């Protein structure tokens, strides 16, 4: 082997810090140059010693550097992993957020649809109620017209036979006059009902802003709801200036009072056949203050903080839990006002609505 | 005042003394010259070691370190070949990492068995020259 042609020169081996052998450095010359080293062998020792000491120190430095680099790499990898985990968590959260957003949008859409359905159901209820209410004047009118026709035919027969007496004719005139007055009165009643219903229902659907007489409109609402309200013996106490006019959204007020009244009927007077409902309205320069009260069953302390939440109801069989939430949204969002409720079980309710003047 | 010329014998003694002194000074001069040469060589080696130090400290791998070390061994100590081995504990062998000056055939996968080394003088910190083959 060529290596054996060299004069081998062994240098101090080098070790790890734990004293384990790390390696060795060899140097050599050819046989021809052997004498050179034989001569200066002792002279080289100090330089060899310095070189080997330097090499050990440098190797230790390299090892420390390598360990540090390794630690940096490990730490970097760990940080990268943590970053990745955070990234994944963020993505997961983002996805959950999107899902929640989508669910929320769905919920809002459903809620809007339900509110719309409630509104339509209320109008449907109004139609049924008004139809029932119309039945009386229209029935009376039809009966009166039938009687009138009979009287006319009877008079026509007498006229054909030329047998009309003065007394008959006078009686016919009086009877016709009374019947016509009865028909007129009932048609006016029917027209009034239709007018009220038309106004209230149109306002509820269109929700347009206009000037309206508050008390008159309140009466229209009460008339529209009369068939429903007449199921119980309710005494209404309306305390409001006849001249009070508002430039606002009458349909919104119609929905608010309709829901408050139905709420009183369904919950407040559920176990009562008689009761008092009070509506008080005061307008000053800044706001319209409405107080709605009933002397019904009241609301428990547990339920009171939640009554304006959507779908919150004390009895699933008697409501959707949307009525008061609709009122709350209309007052807050449409009228930019506030609504609060005070109540104790057995002591009725007091809804205080404060609406800024537009 | 003594104005007498020295005697011949006395001059001979003086001359011999002077010659001895000249020889002594010449030896001293030669010794100093050798010492200077050796010191110059040592200084050159130490400068070379310092250069090695500066180069090796920036090595970022054991391979680069081995290469710089082997090159420095050749230039610093005027050797003809140099080899850098790393110990492989499982195989109990010193594996060649880098070399200069050897035949191509020993460049790859060259190993020295620890047993072989121990039989040829062993790993001794104090002996620079262990053996001549």
CA A259 to chain centre: 18
Name the residue among B60, B94, B103 with its Cβ closest to that of A2.
Answer: B103
Tell me, what's the pLDDT at A201? 64
> Residue A48's closest chain B neighbor by CA?
B128
Q: Which residues of B touch A30 (CB under 8 A)?
A: 80
Does position A17 have pLDDT exceeding 80, yes or no? no
Name the residue among A1, A27, A50 with its Cβ closest to that of B79.
Answer: A27
Structural domain includes residue A72: no
B74–A27 CB contact, under 8 Å:
yes
Structural domain includes residue A257: yes
Name the residue among B38, B76, B86 with its Cβ closest to that of A23.
Answer: B86
Number of domains chain A is built from: 1
Say whether the ipTM exceeds 0.85.
Answer: no
Q: Which residues of B touch A35 (CB under 8 A)?
A: none
CA distance B47 to chain A (A): 10
Does position A92 have pLDDT exceeding 90, yes or no? yes
Query: Which range has the worst mean pLDDT, A143-152, A173-182, A210-219, B99-108?
Result: B99-108
User: Which chain A residues have any C-beta within 8 angstroms of a chain B C-beta?
Assistant: 1-4, 6-13, 20-30, 33-34, 36-37, 41, 43-48, 50-51, 54-55, 58-59, 61-62, 65-66
d(CA B40, CA B48): 12
B132–A28 CB contact, under 8 Å:
no
Phi and psi torsions of A291, nearest 5°: -120, 120
Q: What's the pLDDT band for B129 if we cut at 50, 70, 90?
A: very low
Percentage of chain A modeled with pLDDT above 90 = 34
Structural domain includes residue A75: no
DSSP string, A94-118: HHHHHHHHHHHHHHHHHHHHHHHHH
Relative orientation angle of helices A250-263 and A34-160, to the nearest 10 degrees: 90
Q: What's the pLDDT band for A279 if we cut at 50, 70, 90?
A: very high
Q: Dihedral of CA A46/A50/A56/A57: which sign?
A: positive
CA distance A93 to chain B (A): 43
* DSSP H/E element including B93: strand B93-100
CA distance A12 to chain B (A): 5
Count CB atoms within 10 A of the CB of residue A146.
11
Does position A102 have pLDDT exceeding 60, yes or no? yes
The residue that leads in pLDDT, A196 or A312, is A312
Average pLDDT over residues A2-11: 50
d(CA A192, CA B82): 121
Average pLDDT over residues B99-126: 71
CA distance A76 to chain B (A): 18
Where helices occur in B2-131 by DSSP H, the ranges are 8-56, 62-77, 114-119
Tokens 């139609």: give the residue.
A127
Name the residue among A24, A26, A34 with its Cβ closest to that of B132.
Answer: A34
| Tens of pLDDT, residues A225-269 | 877 788 889 999 999 999 999 999 888 898 899 889 988 988 899
> Residue B94's closest chain A neighbor by CA?
A23
Q: Would an 8 Å CB–CB cutoff place B37 in contact with chain A?
A: no
∠ CA B110-B114-B117, rounded to 5°: 90
Name the residue among A7, A27, A48 with its Cβ closest to that of B133.
Answer: A7
Q: What's the pLDDT band for B65 if we cut at 50, 70, 90?
A: very high
Name the residue among A2, A24, A59 with its Cβ closest to that of B106.
Answer: A2
> Residue B62's closest chain A neighbor by CA?
A62
Number of Cβ pairs < 8 A linking chain A and chain B: 132
Average pLDDT over residues A69-73: 92
Find the Cα–Cα–Cα–Cα dihedral A136, A138, A143, A148, rounded to 10°.
140
Structural domain includes residue A344: yes
Structural domain includes residue A1: no
B129–A59 CB contact, under 8 Å:
no
Count CB atoms within 10 A of the CB of residue B115.
10
Does position A302 have pLDDT exceeding 70, yes or no? yes
A19: left (phi over 0), alpha (psi -120 to 50) or beta: left
Strands (E), chain A: 6-10, 14-15, 21-30, 210-213, 233-240, 245-248, 274-283, 287-294, 338-343, 349-356
Name the residue among B38, B65, B80 with its Cβ closest to that of A33.
Answer: B80
Which residues form the domain of A264? Answer: 209-358
Structural domain includes residue A131: no
CATH number of the domain where residue A341 is located: 3.30.565.10
Phi and psi torsions of B60, nearest 5°: -110, 5
Q: Which residues of B touch A24 (CB under 8 A)?
A: 85, 87, 94, 112, 117, 123
* DSSP H/E element including A72: helix A34-160
Tell me, what's the pLDDT at A23? 83
Model-level pTM?
Answer: 0.45
Average pLDDT over residues A29-36: 68
Structural domain includes residue A21: no
| Tens of pLDDT, residues A135-181 | 888 999 999 999 899 989 989 999 999 888 899 899 899 989 999 99
> Residue B55's closest chain A neighbor by CA?
A58
Structural domain includes residue A128: no
Q: What letters, b where the CB count within 10 A reaches 16 and e where it falls short, cover A99-122?
A: eeeeeeeeeeeebeebbeebbeeb
């Amino acid at each position: 082997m060529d290596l054996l042609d060299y004069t081998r020169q062994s240098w101090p081996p080098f070790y790890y810090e734990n004293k384990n052998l790390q390696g060795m450095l060899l140097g050599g010359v050819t046989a021809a140059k052997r004498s050179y080293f034989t001569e200066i062998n002792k002279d080289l020792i100090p330089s060899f010693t310095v070189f080997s000491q330097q090499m050990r120190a440098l190797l230790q430095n390299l090892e420390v550097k390598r360990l540090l680099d390794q630690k940096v790499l490990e730490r970097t990898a760990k940080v990268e992993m943590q970053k990745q985990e955070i990234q994944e968590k963020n993505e997961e959260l983002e996805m959950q957020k999107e899902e929640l957003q989508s669910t929320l949008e769905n919920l809002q859409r459903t809620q809007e649809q339900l509110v719309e359905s409630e509104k339509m159901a209320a109008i449907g209820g109004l139609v049924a109620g008004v139809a029932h209410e119309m039945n009386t004047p229209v029935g009376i009118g039809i009966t009166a017209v039938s009687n009138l026709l009979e009287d006319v035919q009877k008079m026509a027969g007498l006229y054909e036979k030329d047998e009309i007496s003065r007394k008959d004719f006078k009686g016919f005139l009086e009877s016709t006059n009374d019947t016509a007055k009865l028909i007129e009165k009932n048609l006016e009643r029917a027209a009034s009902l239709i007018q009220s219903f038309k106004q209230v229902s149109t306002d509820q659907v269109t929700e347009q802003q206009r000037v309206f007489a508050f008390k008159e409109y309140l009466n229209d609402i009460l008339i529209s709801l009369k068939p429903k309200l007449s199921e119980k013996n309710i005494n209404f106490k309306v305390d409001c200036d006849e001249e009070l006019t508002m430039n606002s959204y009458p349909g919104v007020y119609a929905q608010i009072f309709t829901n408050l009244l139905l709420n009183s009927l369904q919950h407040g007077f559920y176990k009562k056949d008689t009761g008092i409902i009070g509506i008080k309205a005061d307008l000053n320069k800044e706001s319209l203050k409405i107080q709605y009260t009933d002397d019904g069953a009241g609301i428990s302390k547990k339920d009171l903080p939640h009554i304006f939440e959507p779908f919150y109801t004390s009895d699933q069989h008697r409501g959707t839990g949307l009525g008061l939430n609709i009122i709350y949204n209309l007052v807050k969002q449409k009228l930019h006002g506030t609504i609060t409720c005070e109540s104790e079980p057995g002591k009725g309710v007091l809804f205080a609505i404060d609406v800024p003047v537009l | 005042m003594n104005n007498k010329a020295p005697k011949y014998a006395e001059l001979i003694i003086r001359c011999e003394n002077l010659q001895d002194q000249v020889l002594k000074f010449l030896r001293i001069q030669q010794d100093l010259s050798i010492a200077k040469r050796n010191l110059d060589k040592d200084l050159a080696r130490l400068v070379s070691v310092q250069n090695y130090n500066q180069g090796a400290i920036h090595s970022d791998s054991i391979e680069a370190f081995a290469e710089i070390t082997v090159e420095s061994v050749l230039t610093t100590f005027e050797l003809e070949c140099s080899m850098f081995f790393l110990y492989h504990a499982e195989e109990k062998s010193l594996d060649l990492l880098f070399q200069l000056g050897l035949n191509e055939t020993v460049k790859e996968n060259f190993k020295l068995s620890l047993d072989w080394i121990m039989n040829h003088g062993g790993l001794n910190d104090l002996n620079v020259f262990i053996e001549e083959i």
